[in-house]
Amino acid sequence: MNAIVRLPAVAALAELSDAVPFDPSIPEREGQRRRYRTVWISDVHLGTRGCNAGMLIDFLDSVDSETMYLVGDIIDGWRMKKRWYWPAQHNDIVWRVLKRAKRGTRIVYIPGNHDEMFRQFTGMSFGGVEIRRKAIHETADGRKLLVLHGDEFDTIMLAHRWLAHIGDFAYETLMRLNVVVNAVRSRLGLPYWSLSKHAKHKVKNAVEFISRFEEVVAHEAGTRGVDGVVCGHIHTAEIREIGGVAYYNDGDWVEGCTALVEHFDGRMEVLHWADEVRTRAEEARSQTDGRRRLAA
Ligand SMILES: [Mn+2]
């Protein structure tokens, strides 16, 4: 808890009402942004080396919405209790979220299990960010979606606790390796590649765990009379229909770098940001090549 109190961003949050008191280390990118009705992101794990902060900053500078849901595990309080890690880029993300709220985006923050210390502030609002335990979102086409982090189902999923407790040693090692692999790839000019995502899909148990989690969540949502459910927690983005209930998972910014969005007509989509960044880089490269050919 002490570590959390020292957080500059949280200290700022407590003081501020409508001002954003610190400057980002990476200035906001100017220019037109893609607009959506709603954006959901979760499992950012700020305060850990695994967090792909650069990718998320790029996303936040490229996309805007009327409403944004932060669906838990935004800050990793568990990890920070063990070791203090808070680079400037992580502040830049907090800055961008506060700036959005100030510009009029409705921001709903639903803490997860890694940032459960914020659950005690349920019902309160900091810098225009509403803290909620869960929410009901109504889509443009009139469907009601239950929005929650997803760790609520861990007790039901007890048999598979090894993956529910994402802070375990194997996972942490894999995450570290992922950072190293991608640092090397980036130096070689290769695009981002998720090692753990690749490994996870190879493991039969993990695949079984994921599909069972999805079924449990969809079933629970169905009993609460909603048309669908949006969650995070298992770091696996998905759009699926299960027993008449729409299951949406917005993924994460540790491995997959994904967000869930609602278009203005109520259509839902998962954005794979690493792919978008890669496509953009390729387009820029072919443009430069074209110009070079013209010049030659
Ligand atoms: Mn979680």
| The model's pTM | 0.81
The secondary structure element, H or E, covering residue 74 is none
- Rounded to the nearest whole angstrom, what is the distance from the C-alpha of residue 187 to the centroid of ligand 1? 31
Strand pairing partners for 135? 147
pLDDT digits (tens, 9 = 90+) for 196-211: 676 665 555 677 778 8
Residue 255: which of 100, 59, 76, 52 has the closest Cα?
A: 52
pLDDT digits (tens, 9 = 90+) for 91-105: 999 999 999 999 999
pLDDT digits (tens, 9 = 90+) for 21-61: 678 999 999 889 999 999 999 999 999 999 999 999 999 99
Q: What's residue 38's pLDDT?
A: 98
Domain at 2-289, CATH from 3.60.21.10, 3.50.50.60, 1.10.3080.10, 3.40.50.300: 3.60.21.10
- Rounded to the nearest whole angstrom, what is the distance from the C-alpha of residue 281 to the centroid of ligand 1? 32
- Rounded to the nearest whole angstrom, what is the distance from the C-alpha of residue 286 to the centroid of ligand 1? 40
Angle at 92 between CA 134 and CA 200, to 5 degrees: 60
Q: Quick one: average pLDDT of 3-15?
A: 50
Domain ranges of the chain: 2-289
Residue 75 DSSP symbol: B
Q: Quick one: average pLDDT of 181-197?
A: 79
- Rounded to the nearest whole angstrom, what is the distance from the C-alpha of residue 76 to the centroid of ligand 1? 9
Q: Quick one: average pLDDT of 264-286?
A: 95
Q: What's residue 185's pLDDT?
A: 84
- Rounded to the nearest whole angstrom, what is the distance from the C-alpha of residue 255 to the centroid of ligand 1? 14
Residue 111: which of 74, 159, 166 has the closest Cα?
A: 74
Residue 287 DSSP symbol: H
